[in-house]
Structures are given as C-alpha cells and as structure tokens.
Amino acid sequence: MTRSIVVANQKGGVGKTTTVANLGAALAAMGKRVLLIDLDPQAALTATYGINPYKLPRSMYSVLIHEGSSLARVLHPAGESTMAIAPSSVDLAAAEVQLVNAPNRAQRLRSAIENNRIPFDYILIDTPPSLGLLTLNGLVGTKEVLVPVQAHFLAMRGVRSLMEVVWRVKRRLNPELRLLGLLPTMYQPESQHNVEVVNELKRVFKTKVFDVLVYNSYAFAEAPVVNKSLVEQNPQHEGALAYRKLAEVIANHG
C-alpha cells in the first residue's frame, strides 16, 4: 500500500519544502521507495535536486493540465538515493488560473496518482504557501496531511484556518483525508516564546503534535546549496536526526 502525505501550511517559510526533502530522504534511507511531488510554482524542492524549473518540457504542469498525462513521464531521479521527483516548473503558476473552470479541477492530482503504475511506498507532496487550487489538489489527492508549524509567535493563527479547510475538504471531496500530525519547526529552546507556542499547540491539538521538535538550524538552508537535503548531506546532524525520528514515527504509525 502506498501512503500519500501532503505537507501543507498556507504560511510561507515554515519548513514545508525542507520537511518534504528531509522526510523523503529519511524514508528512502530506511529502504522505502519514495516519490516527491512538487506542487509549488516557486519550485524550491525541484531546485534542491539541481533541476532547473525554467527549462522543463515536462513537469507537474503537464500532469495537472493534460488530463490523463502520466506521472511516469515527468519523473526525475532525486539525489543519489532511490527517490524520484515529479518536478514543478515556473508555468505551474499558470495552471492554477487555467484550471479554474476546468472539469475535475481539484481531482487532477488524485487521478494521476491513481493511474500511476510505478510502485512507491510513500508519496510526499510539497505545496505552495496558499490555499488555492494547487494545495487543494494536494489535499484531495492524498490521505494524510502533515502540517509544519513554525514555533513562533502568531504561528498558531493560520493553523486554525488550515484545519477548517482540511475538514471542509474531508466532508466534501475526500472523506479519507486525515490529519497525520503537526510538526513544530525552527524551534529555539532558549526562547520562552517558542516553548509557549509548542505548549499551546499541544494543548489544542493534543496527541496530533509529533513528539519530534525540529530545532532552528542554519544547516537546513545550507544543504540545498550542494543539491541535497540535510539528511543526505549530514545524516548525524541534530536536524537530520529529528527528521529521521519523524520518519520512524510515521512508518510505525501505520
């Protein structure tokens, strides 16, 4: 059984792309077959693997716009491991507009995943910092949502509205959708604010908050410079260890 997980938060810079890249690498290191799908027109995940989003004849744009276009045709190897990536391209921004009046506009990703014949254990989806049609395709096309939450002041605000969207999608479009969990990111233990935000998250979302804290570390920003995630570049780094623990928690969570 393939597990499909969408990583979503309409706030930018909270660690979505970093989570997809590092969780993917950690699952791949456990021997899992992993597909990463980049649904963000800014294409940071695609760029992480050295793929130029300006020169791509085939990308998630074609998959979403041409119904019946297969995922297999757009796949690239991601890094040195067994991971594959379905890259974004700059024209993906146009897809959001072009799809507005198209039939099955929210189900395009779902059909592509359902029709895919290449076996994967995990499909991880990166989404843009908005709740538009691209993120909606992510929520409709998967069964689990993972929400990175920056352990900062005001981070909680957006989480509630995201949850409302998730429940609405679940009621109307994708009854199988469930919240996998909230992941506190960029955590600074010396900041009383950060400690309070995580406590507040746990008070509201209880066991849905992962027992993994991703600490604030500049190493996360440095790794993609060499076309790798931190987990691939330095698996023993504290930040890499957090994502490797997360991968284990998720794999055991069933």
Which spans of this chain sit near ligand ADP (rule: CB under 6 A)?
Answer: 12-18, 44, 129, 185-186, 214, 216-217, 220-221, 239
3-state per-residue secondary structure call for the chain = CCEEEEECCCCCCCCHHHHHHHHHHHHHHCCCCEEEEECCCCCHHHHHCCCCCCCCCCCHHHHHHCCCCCHHHHCEECCCCCCEEECCCCCHHHHHHHCCCCCCCCCHHHHHHHHCCCCCCEEEEECCCCCCHHHHHHHHHCCEEEEEEECCCCHHHHHHHHHHHHHHHHHHCCCCCEEEEEEEECECCCCHHHHHHHHHHHHHHHHHECCCCCECCCHHHHHHHHCCCHHHHCCCCHHHHHHHHHHHHHHHHC
Q: 60 or 69: whose CB is closer to Mg ion?
A: 60
Nearest-approach distance from CB 101 to Mg ion, in angstroms: 27
- By CB under 5 A, the residues from 26 to 55 that bind Mg ion are 44
Please report how close the Cβ of residue 142 comes to Mg ion at its closest, in angstroms. Answer: 17
Q: How far is the CB of 185 from ligand ADP (least distance, A)?
A: 5
Position with the least CB separation from Mg ion:
17
**Which of 9, 17, 59, 137 touches Mg ion (CB under 5 A)?**
17
Which of 3, 11, 16, 152 is in the footprint of Mg ion by CB under 5 A?
A: 16
Find which of ligand ADP, Mg ion, none residue 18 binds, CB within 5 to 8 Å per kind: ligand ADP
> Which window, 9-17, 93-101, 138-146, 175-183, contacts Mg ion (CB under 5 A)?
9-17
Q: Which is nearer to ligand ADP, 163 or 173 (CB)?
A: 163
Residues in the interface with Mg ion (CB under 5 A) total 3
By CB under 5 A, the residues from 122 to 141 that bind Mg ion are none
Which positions lie near Mg ion, rule CB under 5 A? 16-17, 44
